């Protein structure tokens, strides 16, 4: 759809005539003696002048500064720092190679053994350690690591 500037002029003149006519009616009610065609013509002239100025003068663009883009958060802010460190170590422990399910199972078992034995192990952690090594989802791994890092 192309935008024709003449159409804007027609709309401005019609709006000016309507506003001029309304001003004439208000003027008659208040007692001003100017005739209706004069008010209507005045509204049309003002509207045409307004349209012409808008066409001649460039639009002033406000300088908007884009908001800074924050890097995506890979870690949940509610996760303890120790949990994040353990997860990072376990996820890519050997130079970019992912940890196998067996190595992950063994590492978690070592962490449980190194943990003070005063606190009982949560049921989910006990179940995982008793089972065969299997791959864990990110949420499952994070839950186990939270249980390991609880004071």
* Torsion sign, CA atoms 89, 93, 99, 105: negative
Residue 86 above 50 pLDDT? yes
For the entire predicted model, the pTM comes to 0.37
* Distance (Å, whole) CA 9 – CA 124: 74
| Closest listed residue to residue 89, CA positions, set 118, 111, 115 | 111
Residue 94: phi, psi to the nearest 5?
A: -115, 70
Pick the more confident residue, 50 or 82.
Answer: 50
Residue 46 above 80 pLDDT? yes
What is the per-residue pLDDT across 106-148, written as a single tens digit (0 to 9) for each?
Answer: 888 887 887 766 677 788 788 888 888 877 777 887 888 788 7
Residue 93 above 80 pLDDT? no
Residue 96 above 60 pLDDT? no
Rounded mean pLDDT, 37-55: 86
Residue 4 above 50 pLDDT? yes
* Distance (Å, whole) CA 38 – CA 45: 10
What is the per-residue pLDDT across 25-38, written as a single tens digit (0 to 9) for each?
Answer: 888 888 877 788 88
* Distance (Å, whole) CA 98 – CA 116: 28
């Amino acid at each position: 759809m192309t935008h024709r500037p003449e159409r804007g002029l027609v709309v401005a003149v019609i709006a000016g005539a309507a506003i001029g006519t309304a001003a004439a009616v208000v003027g008659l009610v208040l007692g001003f003696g100017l005739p209706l065609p004069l008010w209507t013509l005045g509204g049309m002239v003002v509207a045409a002048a307004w349209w012409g100025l808008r066409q001649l003068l460039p639009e002033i663009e406000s300088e908007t500064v884009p908001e800074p883009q924050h890097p995506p958060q890979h870690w949940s802010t509610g996760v303890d720092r120790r949990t994040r460190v353990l997860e990072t170590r376990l996820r890519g422990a050997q130079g970019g190679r992912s940890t196998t399910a067996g190595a992950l199972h063994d590492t978690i078992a070592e962490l449980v053994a190194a943990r003070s034995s005063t606190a009982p192990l949560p049921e989910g952690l006990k179940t995982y350690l008793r089972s065969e090594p299997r791959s864990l989802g990110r949420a499952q791994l994070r839950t186990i690591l939270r249980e390991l890092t609880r004071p």
